[in-house]
Structure 1
């Protein structure tokens, strides 16, 4: 017989649901792109610094 273990409350609040995380990541990329729009570059890629979540999102000009 197996028993289910309920996750702790802190585990539930420590992570974002995938859809919300994706929306925040996209918003961050768009904000960063907007800041770079006058740099003279036409194309950018949105990257993420490993382990930093949405706060680590940044754009880099494509060469």
Structure 2
């Protein structure tokens, strides 16, 4: 069941923005667990964007 929220950006764009937001927040933090968590979230968002992009492509290509 979906809620009534209509997304105005593609998933890839939302994930890219999320990754950038996490990287910016991590820049202002001292080295610690929370900073590493933010960087991990940024990497996960970027990976998700790439995966979604590949899955939407007309012909799924092998990884390069």
**Structure that is richer in strand per residue:** 1
**Structure that is richer in helix per residue:** 2
Task: Report which structure shows greater RCO (CA 8 Å, sep ≥6).
Answer: 2
Range into which the TM-score falls when normalised by the shorter chain: 0.3 to 0.5
Q: TM-score, normalised by structure 1?
A: 0.37
Mark the structure with the bigger radius of gyration: 1
